[in-house]
């Protein structure tokens, strides 16, 4: 019998969906918790049955549509449980809808499992839904992270393909700030087989016989920011395997497994970036999430500033909708965000 990282209760929110059901399976394969609860507003019993038929043996798998039952005694929560964007919905409709879902999630955490240890949020826009959940759950910033690594892993994958090397030969890929077209891609820390990427772009210097022109780099960055829609085009459906897998890796780290060193979305409280959740240099460990300093060129820091501004605008929209109170009132709801 394999050992689990913990016997404390792990809840997958949105477990009946494609992402949630994959998370649940991945969590069992990776031995996260012997006590796995599947929760969804649609019955996740079919998913639970499939997982029982995998015969993981030492794990207890429960399924429920009751949030009270699900969250009671929960110590770890991963939520993929937002509404997907439907035909005719505007971006703002989606934002309002999922911000509302996040508020309820946070309130339920506060009500039913205020002693939860770590929460990972992945429903879109995760920078906002994570922030809203954090506020209403009353948790410390180090206890809640959002999935923000996929832009960085996509950059790693694109560079590995271009140079014809293994992905593990491409190190320190990171994108910070918001997700999507507003992300800030940091090239300066990246090395390909030990050679700094900045020594390669537009210099004619080759690694594994391949150069990278400035135009190719710009095209690659653009492709990375559109990584999600590329999957839809290739596969006819939104990506679900990579968000599920990577968020389970994040949670494994919070439980004491291998540290997670890709960027995570977390609450920023520096002098320059604050009252926002965004992708930062982080390490998730059993003792919480550590935030590290940004290190980048002036150009990279400027693109991070732009990304931050974009996120603040988005946050202010949600404040305008009334889902979040004004920033100076946050401490009344969650003293950890004073």
- Name, in order, each residue with C-beta under 8 angstroms of 337's C-beta and a sequence gap of 6 or more: 134, 135, 141, 267, 275, 330, 331
57 binds a copy of itself (CB under 8 A): yes
- Distance in angstroms (rounded) separating the CA atoms of residues 24 and 59: 12
Instruction: Give Cβ neighbours of residue 146 (< 8 Å, ≥ 6 apart).
Output: 120, 121, 122, 126, 127, 129, 130, 264, 265, 266, 277
Contact segment (CB under 8 A) with a copy of itself among 126-134, 164-172, 191-199, 294-302 equals 164-172
Q: In the complex, what is the shortest distance from the CB of residue 166 to a copy of itself, in angstroms, rounded to a whole number?
A: 6
According to the binding rule CB under 8 A, does residue 58 interact with a copy of itself? yes
Is 29 among the residues that bind a copy of itself (CB under 8 A)?
yes
Write the binding mask 135 to 154 for a copy of itself: x where contact by CB under 8 A, - elsewhere: --------------xx--xx
**Among residues 64, 225, 239, 285, the one that binds a copy of itself under rule CB under 8 A:** 239
Query: Pick from 52, 111, 272, 329: which binds a copy of itself (CB under 8 A)?
Result: 52
Decide if residue 26 touches a copy of itself (CB under 8 A).
Answer: yes
| Residue 133 contacts residue 105 (beta carbons within 8 Å) | yes
Nearer Cβ to a copy of itself (54/206): 54
Is 172 near a copy of itself (CB under 8 A)? no
Q: Which single residue is written with the structure tokens 């069992």? A: 28
Binding to a copy of itself by residue 6, rule CB under 8 A?
no
Determine the Cα–Cα distance for residues 16 and 39; give it in Å rounded to an integer.
Answer: 8
Give the sheet arrangement for strand 74-79, strand by strand: 60-64, 35-39, 9-13, 74-79, 118-121, 144-146, 264-269, 274-280, 174-177, 183-186
Binding site for a copy of itself (CB under 8 A): 1, 16, 21-22, 25-26, 29-30, 43, 45-47, 49-60, 149-150, 153-154, 156-157, 160-161, 166-168, 227, 230-231, 233-236, 239-242, 245-246, 262
């Amino acid at each position: 019998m394999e050992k689990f990282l913990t016997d404390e209760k792990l809840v997958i929110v949105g477990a009946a969906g494609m992402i949630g059901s994959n998370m649940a399976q991945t969590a069992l394969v990776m031995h996260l918790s012997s006590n796995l609860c599947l929760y969804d507003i649609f019955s996740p019993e079919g998913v639970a049955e499939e997982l029982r038929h995998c015969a993981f043996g030492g794990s207890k798998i429960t399924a429920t549509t009751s949030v009270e039952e699900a969250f009671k005694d929960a110590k770890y929560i991963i939520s993929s449980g937002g509404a997907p964007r439907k035909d005719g919905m505007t971006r703002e409709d989606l934002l309002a809808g999922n911000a509302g879902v996040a508020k309820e999630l946070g309130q339920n955490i506060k009500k039913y499992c205020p002693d939860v240890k770590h929460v990972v949020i992945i429903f879109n826009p995760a920078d906002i839904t994570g922030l809203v959940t954090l506020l209403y759950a009353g948790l410390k910033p180090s206890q809640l992270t959002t999935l923000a690594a996929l832009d960085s892993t996509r950059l790693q994958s694109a560079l590995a393909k271009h140079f014809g090397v293994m992905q593990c030969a491409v190190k320190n890929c990171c994108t910070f700030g918001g997700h999507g077209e507003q992300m800030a891609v940091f090239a300066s820390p990246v090395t390909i087989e030990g050679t700094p990427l900045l020594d390669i772009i537009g210099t004619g210097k080759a690694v594994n016989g391949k150069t990278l022109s400035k135009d190719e780099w710009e095209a690659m960055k653009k492709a990375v920011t559109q990584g999600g829609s590329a999957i839809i085009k290739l596969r006819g459906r939104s990506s679900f395997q990579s968000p599920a897998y990577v968020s389970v890796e994040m949670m494994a780290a919070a439980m004491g497994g291998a540290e997670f060193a890709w960027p995570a979305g977390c609450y920023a409280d520096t002098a320059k970036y604050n009252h926002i959740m965004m992708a930062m240099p982080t390490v998730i460990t059993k003792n919480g999430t550590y935030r590290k300093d940004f290190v980048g060129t002036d150009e990279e820091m400027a693109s991070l500033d732009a990304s931050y501004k974009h996120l603040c605008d988005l946050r202010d929209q949600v404040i305008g909708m009334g889902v979040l109170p004004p920033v100076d009132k946050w401490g009344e709801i969650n003293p950890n965000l004073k």
